[in-house]
């Protein structure tokens, strides 16, 4: 670990402002949090499509995909969930610096982990969005059949069943996915990005 003493940050020849000028919008982060089945991936991908149609460079980082690659060594203990979020935040920082709007879809159940992500990304525009849906409705949707498995004990540490979900206290936006349609929610997020002069 002490090799850190010999590391030196190399500054880039093209800076962030120049990249943003080229793209015509800022880089930034949209971070969806919520229970499994609340609609994070659905909203993230609908938003990515809308941003693409607006000529905005966006990229979705999604829980399962990241866990199949970068974070394949991590499990679902509190410790591993924290490391999962830390790495995602660091990757997001690179994407945001590159000028992308990165759209994150992770349960991210712990308040301290979300605060850590926000801190790591403090130099970039950051919008936390709570995909809010009752546990009962998430279980009814059960798009991946995970709740059935969690209830029967096949999946340990399952958020909402055998692991906690800490509701955001100060998310920039909340989307009640039992009430608001995907397209209305996406339009509302795009309006928010415009209002903040991110795009």
Residues in the site for Mg ion, rule: CB under 5 A? 40-41
Q: How far apart are CA 72 and CA 104, in angstroms?
A: 17
Quick check: 191 and 154 in contact, CB under 8 A?
A: no
Q: Which residue's CB atom is positioned nearest to Mg ion? A: 41
Question: What are the angstrom distances between the C-alpha of 63 and each of 70, 76, 87, 146, 194?
Answer: 11, 12, 12, 14, 27
- Among the listed residues 49, 119, 144, 188, the single contact to ligand ATP using CB under 6 A: 144
Q: Which is nearer to ligand ATP, 119 or 144 (CB)?
A: 144
- Among the listed residues 27, 29, 31, 41, the single contact to ligand ATP using CB under 6 A: 41
173 lines the binding site for ligand ATP (CB under 6 A): no
69 is in an annotated binding site: no
Beta strands 173-176 and 101-105: pairing type?
Answer: unpaired
Quick check: 36 and 138 in contact, CB under 8 A?
A: yes
- Shortest Å distance, C-beta 155 to ligand ATP: 11
Of residues 59-118, those binding ligand ATP (CB under 6 A): 63, 105, 107
Which of the residues are catalytic? Answer: 108
Place of tokens 């955001």: 168
- Shortest Å distance, C-beta 66 to Mg ion: 11
- Among the listed residues 17, 65, 112, 181, the single contact to ligand ATP using CB under 6 A: 181
Write out the DSSP string of 91-117: HHHHHHHHT-EEEEE-----HHHHHHH
40 lines the binding site for ligand ATP (CB under 6 A): yes
Quick check: 30 and 98 in contact, CB under 8 A?
A: no
Neighbours of 49 (CB within 10 A): 13
**Binding span for ligand ATP by CB under 6 A among 11-19, 39-47, 75-83, 87-95:** 39-47
Beta strands 126-132 and 28-33: pairing type?
Answer: parallel
42 lines the binding site for ligand ATP (CB under 6 A): yes
131 is in an annotated binding site: no
Instruction: Pick out the residues of the known binding site.
Output: 34-41
**Interface ranges with ligand ATP (CB under 6 A):** 34, 36-43, 63, 105, 107, 131, 141, 143-144, 177, 180-182
Instruction: Pick out the residues of the known binding site for ATP.
Output: 34-41
């Amino acid at each position: 670990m002490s090799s850190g003493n010999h590391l030196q940050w190399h500054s880039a020849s093209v800076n962030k402002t120049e990249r943003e000028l080229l793209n015509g919008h800022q880089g930034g982060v949209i971070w969806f949090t919520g229970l499994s089945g609340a609609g994070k991936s659905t909203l993230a991908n609908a938003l990515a499509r809308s941003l693409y149609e607006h000529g905005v460079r966006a990229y979705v980082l999604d829980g399962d995909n990241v866990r199949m690659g970068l974070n394949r060594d991590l499990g679902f203990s509190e410790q591993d969930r924290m490391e999962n979020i830390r790495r995602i935040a660091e990757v997001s920082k690179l994407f945001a610096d590159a000028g992308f709007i990165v759209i994150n879809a992770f349960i991210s159940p712990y308040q301290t982990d979300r605060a850590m992500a926000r801190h790591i990304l403090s130099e970039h525009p950051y919008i936390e969005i709570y995909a809010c849906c009752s546990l009962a409705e998430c279980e009814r949707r059960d798009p991946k059949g995970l709740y059935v498995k969690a209830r029967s004990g096949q999946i340990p540490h399952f958020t909402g069943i055998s692991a906690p979900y800490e509701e955001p206290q100060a998310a920039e936006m909340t989307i009640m996915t039992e009430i608001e349609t995907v397209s209305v929610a996406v339009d509302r997020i795009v309006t928010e990005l415009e209002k903040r002069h991110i795009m």
